[in-house]
Amino acid sequence: MSRDWRIAICAIGALAVLFGMGGFFRSDTTSTLPASSPRKIAIAAAPVELPQSDPSSSVPTLSEAGRANVDKRVKILAAELAKMWTSNPQELVNVIDEASREAKVSPSVTLLLAIAHAETSGEILDVSEAGAVGLAQATPIACREEQCQGKLFVTRDYLIGARAYILKKPLGDADTIASLVVAHDDAKTRRRAKRLLDSAFALRLEGVGELDLLAPYGSADYYAEIGSAKRHNLKRLRELQSLLAHGSELQIRTYRDRVRHEYRDLKRMQIEHWRHYQVELMAERDRILERHFPLPASTMKKKMPYQAGEYLAQELDVRFSPTEMAAFLVSHLEHKAEEARTLARRERDVEEMTAALYNGGSHNVKRMLAGLIASLPETEQYRKKVPAMRRRLDHSIARLEIRSASRRVEAR
């Protein structure tokens, strides 16, 4: 091989080595990124249009659920009242529940039912010896106080009985105070008698203003006699004041016998005239029922009292209407509760005091609190009975709530 060929071959080899080394160094110093995987593109399917369905009849609406809950409570309360020999308990609960829900402010339904049960046990067409009528046993004075709209059956007998009932109270106070001294005349007893006499002066006009509510039915002579009786009562209390300061035990005894006689005369007048009023109103009630309905009055009162009551309210006296008397009960009991808050010593005593005021009236309850009346047995029983009844009805509702809550938990 010639010298030129050898030179050419060596040059080609050298160039090949140089190119190979350059590629090595480039691959060692330059980093390459891994190729990214191709992205997957999700294509959403078109929404499937489902046919509209009707609401399930087994799932109540909010209003239906509320109504169903009310209905359950009504049935529970009616069942509890039925255990206590209440007449027409379902109707009684319904009419009171409606009145409570329609009022802007109302006592609890269970307290209203406890009062209604204590008054008549559901005998909503009853007339009491004091001239009280209907579901709430309302008197004409109380109805006028609550501005009831409609007819009121008010007679001369009722007016005379109401006047005697109120105006005999100061004479009864004087009898009570004088009797203390007659029983045991010493300095301590006279000091106590003077304190009681101060209360008697303060309470001598309690309830008298209520007689003004009978103005549409009372004559001028009727109110003139009220004025005369007020002056007479004040005179008697002042006489006792003088006797407690300077009189002997014999003088106080003579005074006591005189005011006791006056008190008993007025009480007898009250009882007799209110009894006449009661008999007349019951007779008129039965006459109207038998004239309109094809059944005896006794049957109507037992089988259809709510229908009969609404008719009697139109024809005779609004107090026979269960609807009107349920509304009256809500309003009157709320007013009694307000008064009770001013008289009760503790908040927990307000309910009992409310019941006492509803049953006995403020003129009696205030005298009892002052010590002028030793006790009011009927009112004392009433003030215990009503809260106990309210608690019993509340417990029946609570048991319903517990059962409903248990079923909801099990359903989950």
Question: So what's the pLDDT on residue 345?
Answer: 93
> How far from 297 is each of 94, 282, 397, CA to CA, in Å?
24, 10, 36
Indicate whether 41 pLDDT > 80. Answer: no
Alpha-carbon torsion, ordered 373, 378, 384, 387, to 10 deg:
-120
- Arithmetic mean of pLDDT over the chain: 88
Helix extents (H) in 133-168:
140-145, 156-167
- Amino acid, single-letter form, for residue 186: D
Query: What pLDDT does residue 400 have?
Result: 80
Other beta carbons within 10 angstroms of residue 310's beta carbon come to 14
Q: Are 172 and 220 in contact (CB under 8 A)?
A: no
**What are the tens digits of pLDDT across the range 312-326?**
999 999 999 999 999
Give the contacts of 62 (CB within 8 A, at least 6 positions apart): none
Residue among 248, 166, 179 nearest 211 (CA):
166
Highest-confidence segment of 26-30, 73-77, 139-143: 139-143
pTM of the model: 0.81
* Least confident range of 4-18, 138-152, 194-208, 321-335: 4-18
Measured between alpha carbons, how far is residue 324 from residues 140, 145, 146, 232, 286 in Å?
A: 13, 14, 11, 39, 20
Q: Does the pLDDT value for residue 410 go beyond 60? A: yes
State the pLDDT confidence band at 402, using cuts at 50, 70 and 90: confident
Q: pLDDT over 90 for what percent of the chain?
A: 78
Q: Please give the pLDDT value at position 269.
A: 99
The span from the CA of 388 to the CA of 384, in Å, is 6
pLDDT band at 405; cut points 50, 70, 90: low
CA distance 251 to 350: 42
Instruction: Give residue limits of the domains in the chain.
Output: 84-124+321-407, 153-316
Mean pLDDT for 237-245 is 98
Question: How far, in Å, CA of 147 to CA of 144, rounded?
Answer: 5
d(CA 356, CA 363): 11
What's the confidence (pLDDT) of residue 66?
59
User: Which pLDDT belongs to residue 59?
Assistant: 40
Question: Considering only 1-10, 69-78, 182-191, 401-410, which range has the smallest mean pLDDT?
Answer: 1-10
- What is residue 208's DSSP assignment? G
pLDDT one-digit tens code per residue, 47-80: 444 344 343 334 444 444 456 777 889 999 999 9
